[in-house]
Amino acid sequence: MTSYDFYSYESMSEKKKKAARKLKNYQKKQPNAQPILITGTKIATSFWGKTWCDHLKNYADYNNRIDRGRSYIKNGFVFDLTIEKGIIQSVVCGSGSELYQINIEIDPITEQRLVQQIDGHIESLEVLANGQFPKTLAETFLTNENGLFPNINEINFSCNCPDSAHMCKHISAVLYAVGAKLDLKPLLLFELRGIDTKALIKKSVEEKMSTLLENAYTSKSVRIIEEDAIIDLFDL
Identity of residue 63? N
Measure the CA–CA gap between 233 and 85, rounded to whole angstroms.
Answer: 50
To Zn ion, the closest distance from the beta carbon of 80 in angstroms equals 15
Count of all residues that appear for the chain in the document:
236
- Interface with Zn ion, residue 173, by CB under 5 A: no
To Zn ion, the closest distance from the beta carbon of 29 in angstroms equals 21
- Interface with Zn ion, residue 159, by CB under 5 A: yes
- Interface with Zn ion, residue 170, by CB under 5 A: yes
Of 19-27, 67-75, 109-117, 167-175, the window that binds Zn ion (rule: CB under 5 A) is 167-175
CB 85 within 8 A of CB 183: no
Q: Which of 11-16's residues contact partners 24+ apart within 8 Å by CB, and which partners?
A: 12/71, 12/74, 12/75, 15/75, 16/75, 16/76
Residues 161, 187, 205, 224: which binds Zn ion (CB under 5 A)? Answer: 161
To Zn ion, the closest distance from the beta carbon of 5 in angstroms equals 17
List binders of Zn ion among 87-116 (CB under 5 A).
Answer: 100
To Zn ion, the closest distance from the beta carbon of 139 in angstroms equals 35
Nearest to 188 by CA among 148, 142, 152: 148
* Residues engaged in binding Zn ion (CB under 5 A): 100, 159, 161, 168, 170
